[in-house]
Amino acid sequence: MNNGQKLEQDLIPFLEALGLRFAGNYADCPDFIGSDGVGLEVKGPGGTFGQVQTPWNGTQYTLPTSKKAKSPARIRRLVSSSGILERASAEHGTGLTQIKMEMPPKTVREYYRDKGCSYIYFGHPDFMSGKRAKGIFRLGTCDPWNLECPRFNPKYTGFRFRFGAPKGGDRKRVSLVELNCTGISKSSVDLLDI
């Protein structure tokens, strides 16, 4: 269980008391959904915003296309249209460990809105003791819960292609693309304020 999943589990009783239900650890839906249908995505410290494995087929990096692919079609479409696979394929075998490609912040906002999320929360693993992290941000112009929180607008948004990244405990190496954001300012609204 990664930090984000642990935070989600720890938040279940707190958010259920606020009228939200845990939607499960599925990449195609919000982490929590309110009785009004409004979705909330939860991120722990250092988490990625989506990733997909990219196997080398002998001539280029590709995306999994089977229905059993672990990554949702949404992230595969985003990666496919970005040009990152073409850049990585051209650098295959050069000794690079990673390449980065910047994108506008709206890319991440649209990615999560497409999942049904109106808000994203960046939490601290020890939030119940009063420790605050980055807080809650809107993912669009709408503010259905009237939180008056700022729009999510990180300083850097982009893809990071990792050549031969370690995979889990078996230490096999697999290349993957991660959607990352850095330079996230602190929101004026936290879950503890609701």
Total domains present in the chain:
1
Taking residues 109-137, what's their average pLDDT?
83
The domain of 128 spans 3-193
Both tokens of 74, joined, read: 């949404």
DSSP letter for 165, please.
Answer: E
pLDDT digit string (tens) for 50-85? Answer: 888 888 888 999 987 766 556 677 888 889 889 999
Residues 6+ apart with CB under 8 A from 80: 63
> What pLDDT, on a 0 to 100 scale, did the predictor assign at position 194?
74
Q: Is the pLDDT of residue 171 over 50?
A: no
Taking residues 133-156, what's their average pLDDT?
93
In the predicted model, what is the mean pLDDT of the chain? 85
